[in-house]
Chain A
Amino acid sequence: EAGVAQSPRYKIIEKRQSVAFWCNPISGHATLYWYQQILGQGPKLLIQFQNNGVVDDSQLPKDRFSAERLKGVDSTLKIQPAKLEDSAVYLCASSLVAGVYTDTQYFGPGTRLTVL
């Protein structure tokens, strides 16, 4: 079974530039999550999708971050414009059944973003 795929793996940009990350979850997984992991910290949930609808985006900085999950499969996370403090690893995860607490989240390898 293929895991969660993310691209690119690394990205370096200047502040105020735009960047986009892509995630392809495990086939058939209804729920998709984007996390931000700043160096030395644990992952923080940015947004959660159930199929193609947003379940929770309370910690997403909506003035600069946006995310979409068209057709309920793959997803993109965009930052526009980027700030220095956005330097982090962006993790995508998926789970099979939406809204079930006992369901396991499977994580992708992440995209490491460096903002100069």
Chain B
Amino acid sequence: AQSVTQPDIHITVSEGASLELRCNYSYGATPYLFWYVQSPGQGLQLLLKYFSGDTLVQGIKGFEAEFKRSQSSFNLRKPSVHWSDAAEYFCAVAPRSGTYKYIFGTGTRLKVLA
């Protein structure tokens, strides 16, 4: 069955520290891959997406993600976290054909310590 796993429910980092949020997917073929961020009381905002080409993808707000086909992973990274990055982060996949339907992971809630 198609699925997206975000193994970390909560992550706490200090401001200025580096960050990596994990995402693994189970799919018949390499899907399209996305990371979204959801701040309290706000809708989801797209951080970045991978369709093809360079496996290191740059996004907004200083985030990047690396697609690793061999590990079926699409981990999100940021070299230096800011207090405003505290939010919930969702990894999502969508098939390259058929019904255009996102499957979201369960999310990782990021807490940033001052």
Contact = CB atoms under 8 A, between A and B. Distances in A.
A4 interface: yes
A42 B90 contact: yes
A104 B106 contact: no
Interface stretch (A11-19, A62-70, A75-83, A106-114): A106-114
B94 A107 contact: no
B43 A107 contact: yes
Nearest to B92: A42
Contacts of A105: 46, 102
A91 B100 contact: no
B61 interface: no
A-side binding surface: helix, strand, loop or mixed? loop
Interface in B52-96: 90, 92, 94-96
A30 interface: no
A91 B43 contact: yes
A3 B64 CA distance: 25
A61 B51 CA distance: 32
A101 B43 contact: no
Contacts of A44: 104
A110 B43 contact: yes
A20 to B, nearest CB: 19
A56 B99 contact: yes
A43 B104 contact: yes
Interface in A39-77: 40-45, 48, 55-56, 58
Given A42-B90, A42-B92, A42-B107, A99 B100 contact: yes
Contacts of B104: 42-44
Contacts of A42: 4, 90, 92, 103-107
Contacts of A110: 43
B17 interface: no
21 contacts: A40-B106, A40-B107, A41-B106, A41-B107, A42-B105, A42-B106, A43-B44, A45-B101, A55-B99, A56-B99, A91-B43, A91-B44, A93-B44, A101-B94, A101-B100, A102-B51, A104-B49, A105-B102, A106-B43, A108-B43, A109-B41
